[in-house]
Amino acid sequence: MKRLNVLYLIRTWAFGGSHTIILLLMRHLPKDLFNITVVPYDTWTGTDQQFVNAAEKEGFTVAPDRIPWRSRTAWFAARNKIDELIKKYDIDLIHAHDTNSIVLTGVGYKRWPCALVGSPYGWWQPKFHIRAHINHWMERNLGLPNMDRVITVSNDMKAKILWGRTPEEKIRVINTGLDLSKFDKGAPREEVRKAFGIPDGDCVVGAVSRLFAEKGHKYLLDALKLARKDAPHLRVMIVGTGDLRQPLEAYAQEIGVADRVIFTGFYEDLPGALRAMDVFAQPSILEEGFPTSVLEAQVAGLPVVASHIGGTHETLDVGKTGLLVPPKDAPALASALTELANDPERRRVMGRAARQWIERSFTLEDMVRKVKDTYLEAWDEYQKRRK
């Protein structure tokens, strides 16, 4: 078997779980089988640099090339750039990790002299966001059907892909695996809590995500207000950056909970931040594919309270490692958080079960093996269709 030159195309709107997966694959896919070249986008937002920074920090070299995408009129320039990259790096297989790249490579797929793999990680589709609906319709019906293989993260996402024209036999559900050793590092609990002025007796509910509307932080603040009567020792810790940082801070002030909320901003020591928490909250209001942050929280031994939305339920052993509540339901979220805040023994039992659940169900070795096998299947499929 020849060593395959693999091109990763990734556009970054905000750094998240898909990027964690990409970095894990870059590090752990067998080097004797795959040589990976990563090319981000040149967009008007500049957010692709966040991924570049994260990759370089982990010791990876990101190619100096960029896919031009300052506006949608760059369609032909972007496709010509992909042509150029295939020749420059002698590419055997493209793995497209976002909607843009999947559509760019899937439309007119016969143009590319290489195998194609596409990965839709999750689709958030607000009711009146017409552009998002159009983009995902194109991905489902024009991009993904022409991939040699499609990798997605949950059965919920597989069902959504099947709304389009992709044959089921092309789809591989590969759950996210985590490098567990990463979570044994970082600052101790006492140090992080002291740095943020958290008293020993407080029960900290943490959330780790970009601060965008679909992540539902407003409902977490509303739940905190409702829960304060029965759980006055409850405190919320929000880790992450995004456009809603200032509006959320203002809202916390407006509803009278600002004194019980900590906004950390970007916090480099994720294991330390998780260690400072007692409960993890995922109050998302729009579809989640397979939220990595919920997996990471369970590795850290935290019980989870999450919105019952998308593929989130597939990340939990429901009732044993976490609780599900309806999205946008602050009273239900408050009730679940109060229940756990006032029962430290239950938190400990769920936390122990959470770590064991991840160790048993979502191993890095399993993810890497399945991705390796899927790449080889895609390569074989390409060999067949080019004859």
For residue 350, the domain's CATH number is 3.40.50.2000
| CA 368 – CA 21 distance, rounded (Å) | 10
| CA 253 – CA 311 distance, rounded (Å) | 33
| CA 302 – CA 351 distance, rounded (Å) | 5
Q: Are residues 42 and 116 in the same domain?
A: yes
Question: What residue has token string 């420059």?
Answer: 88
| CA 235 – CA 196 distance, rounded (Å) | 12
Q: Are residues 217 and 202 in the same domain?
A: yes
Closest CA to 76 of 45, 127, 111: 111
pLDDT in tens, 216-225: 999 999 999 9
Q: Are residues 100 and 233 in the same domain?
A: no
| CA 38 – CA 33 distance, rounded (Å) | 16
pLDDT greater than 90 at residue 14? no
Q: Are residues 150 and 241 in the same domain?
A: no
Q: Are residues 161 and 223 in the same domain?
A: no
Least confident segment among 193-197, 199-203, 238-242, 286-290: 286-290
Report the pLDDT value the prediction gives residue 130, as an integer from 0 to 100: 79
What does the pLDDT average to over 175-201? 94
pLDDT band at residue 129, thresholds of 50, 70 and 90? low
Q: Are residues 169 and 244 in the same domain?
A: no
pLDDT greater than 80 at residue 387? no
Going by the DSSP 8-state scheme, the letter that residue 271 receives in this structure is H
Q: Are residues 301 and 368 in the same domain?
A: no
What does the pLDDT average to over 249-259? 98
Tell me the pTM.
0.90
Domain that holds residue 69: 4-177+363-385
Q: Are residues 128 and 54 in the same domain?
A: yes
| CA 49 – CA 38 distance, rounded (Å) | 13
Q: Are residues 357 and 371 in the same domain?
A: no
Q: In sequence order, what E strands does the chain have?
A: 4-9, 34-39, 41-43, 67-69, 93-96, 115-118, 149-152, 171-173, 203-208, 234-239, 261-265, 279-282, 304-307, 322-325
Q: Are residues 202 and 346 in the same domain?
A: yes
pLDDT greater than 90 at residue 126? no
End-to-end CA separation in angstroms for the chain: 19
pLDDT greater than 90 at residue 111? yes
Tell me the three-class secondary structure of 229-249, residue by residue: CCCCCEEEEEECCCCCHHHHH
Total domains in the chain come to: 2
